[in-house]
Amino acid sequence: MLANRSALVGESVAIEDILRTIEKVSQTDSTVLISGESGVGKELIARAIHENSNRSNKALVIVNCAAIPADLIEAELFGHTKGAFTGATQNRLGRFEAAHGGTLFLDEVGELPLQLQSKLLRVLQTRQFEAVGSNKTIEVDVRIIAATNRDLETAIQTREFREDLYYRLNVIPLKVPALRERKSDIPQLISHFITQFNQATGHSVEMPSGQILEALMAYDWPGNIRELENLIERLVILKGQGTVDLGDLPHRIFQKFAEGRPSGTGALSEWEFPRMVLPNSGLDLKAIVDAFENHLVDQALARTNNNKNRASELLQMNRTTLVEKLRKRGMIQTVGSRNRMKAENNHPTGASTGSDSNSNSNTNSNSNSNGNANNNGSLLGNRGGFIPDVNA
C-alpha cells in the first residue's frame, strides 16, 4: 500500500485507479506523463509518486515550464557559466543538477519552446547535458515526471510539439479526470478542506449539508479541485463559524443549482431572486422594481438581437405588453413622433412658431419622462438604447 496518500482525497473509482497506478510506478524509475485539466491535482500526484519511491530522501525539483521566459528556460534547466550571456555574473546550477538522485517534475511541459525540446530529448535519452556557455558534459541520475493540460497529440499534428519527445515522455501515461467526472468525491474534498482551513484559521465552520451540499454537487467546477479549495478557504475565512447559507455561495454556483430545479419550486426561495439587502435608510421599492424589470427586458432584447417576438417569449409576456413598456421608456417611437422630429430638424435654426413651441414643449416633456425611466433602469446597469419599431 501507499506510504503517503493523505493529499489524494477521494474514494471514487477514478481516484482508486490513480492510487493503484501511483503504487506501481513509484517503485520504478520510468518516466511518467500526467495529463489533465488545470487544477485537477497533477502536482499532488507527482509528489505522491516521488514520496512513495526509493528517491524520497532526495529532492523533488519542480519546474513550471509555462512560467519561465523562453530565453531563460534553457539556463534554468541546465545551468549556465559566468559570462554565458548578459546578466550571467556567476556560475549557476541548473534544475537537472539540483534534482540529481531525486525527481524532476516538468509541469506544463507542453509549453516548452521547440528549440529546447530537442535538447530535452537528448537528456532523457543519455542523462547527459552541457550548461549554457560550457562544453563540459554533466551526467545526472534523475527520474522525470512531466505534466500537461494540453492535448500533446494534437500539438504534434500542428508541429508545436516533437513526436519523438512525446513518446519518450509518455512511457507511463496517467490521465487525471476533471472534478465534474468524479463528483462523488466532492463531499469528502469539502470536508478535507474545511478541516484544513478551520485548523489554519482557528475558525469553526460546519460541513455543508442539505441544499448547500446539493448546490456544490450540481456545479461543474471548471477550475476543478483548485477552484473548490479556494471557495472553501473563502467561506471559512468570511463565515468564521456556523453553517454556510445559500446566500454565502457565489452567484455562478447557486444559479447552476437553480437552473436544475423545477420552475416555481419554492416561490420565495433565496435562489429565485437577486440577493439584496434593505438599507437602514430604506429604499424606493417602485424604482427598484422598475429597474429590475428594465434590466431583464434589456437582457431579453440583447439576447434576441432586438427581436421583440422572441424577447416577449423569453419574458413570457404578450408582445404588445412588451412594446408598450418600451414605448413608455422612450425606446420606441410612433410614426407620428418620428414625423414631428423630422419636421423640427428641417426648420432653420432660430425659426419659431406657435406650433414649434408646443412641439418643443412636448419633446422636452417626453425627454424628461424618458430620462427618469432610464435613471430607474440604470440602477441595474440599464443601457437604455433606442429601438425603432415601424410595426409598433
Using H for helix, E for strand and C for coil, what is the string for 62-116? EEECCCCCCCCHHHHHHCECCCCCCCCCCCECCHHHHCCCCEEEEECHHHCCHHH
Buried b (16+ CB within 10 A) or exposed e, 328-337: ebbbbbeeee
* CATH 3.40.50.300 for the 181-272 domain, yes or no: no
Provide the residue ranges of all domains of the chain, joining segments of one domain with +: 13-177, 181-272, 285-378
Neighbours of 313 (CB within 10 A): 14
Neighbours of 279 (CB within 10 A): 7
User: What pTM does this model have?
Assistant: 0.67
Backbone angles phi, psi at 67, to 5 degrees: -95, -10
| 3-class DSSP assignment, residue 121 | helix
| CA-to-CA dists, residue 135 to 54, 90, 245, angstroms | 32, 16, 64
Q: Tell me, what's the pLDDT at 81?
A: 86
Average pLDDT per consecutive 10 residues, the chain (392 residues; last block may be shorter): 64 93 94 96 95 95 93 89 80 92 97 93 92 90 97 95 96 96 95 96 94 92 96 95 87 77 50 59 84 86 91 93 89 64 60 46 43 40 42 43
Backbone angles phi, psi at 36, to 5 degrees: 160, 165
Please classify residue 386 by burial: count the beta carbons closer than 10 Å to its beta carbon, then call 0-12 exposed, 13-18 middle and 19+ buried. Answer: exposed
Location of C-alpha cell 474534498: 189
Buried b (16+ CB within 10 A) or exposed e, 253-274: bbebbbeeeeeeeeeeeebeee
Sequence-ordered list of residues with C-beta below 8 angstroms from that of 235, at least 6 positions apart, any chain: 205, 244, 248
Grid cell listed for 256? 447552476
Residue of 34, 18, 115 whose CA lies nearest to 73 = 115
In angstroms, rounded to a whole number, what is the distance separating the alpha carbons of residues 327 and 388? 10
Q: Tell me, what's the pLDDT at 333?
A: 63
CA angle 318, 324, 327 (to 5 degrees): 145
| CA-to-CA dists, residue 235 to 192, 198, 232, 267, angstroms | 14, 10, 5, 27
Q: Tell me, what's the pLDDT at 357?
A: 46
Q: Tell me, what's the pLDDT at 340?
A: 65
Q: In what order do the strands lie in the sheet with 103-107?
A: 60-64, 103-107, 143-148, 32-35, 172-175
DSSP state of 391: T
CB distance 7 to 47 below 8 Å: yes
**Strand pairing partners for 146?**
33, 106
Q: Tell me, what's the pLDDT at 19?
A: 93
CB distance 149 to 35 below 8 Å: yes
Q: What is the C-alpha radius of gyration for the chain, rounded to an integer number of angstroms?
A: 32
Q: Could you give the residue ranges of the DSSP H alpha helices within 183-329?
A: 186-201, 210-218, 224-239, 251-259, 285-303, 308-314, 319-328
Grid cell listed for 338? 418620428
Q: Tell me, what's the pLDDT at 283?
A: 81
CATH of 13-177, one of 2.60.120.20, 3.40.50.300, 2.60.120.10, 3.30.565.10: 3.40.50.300
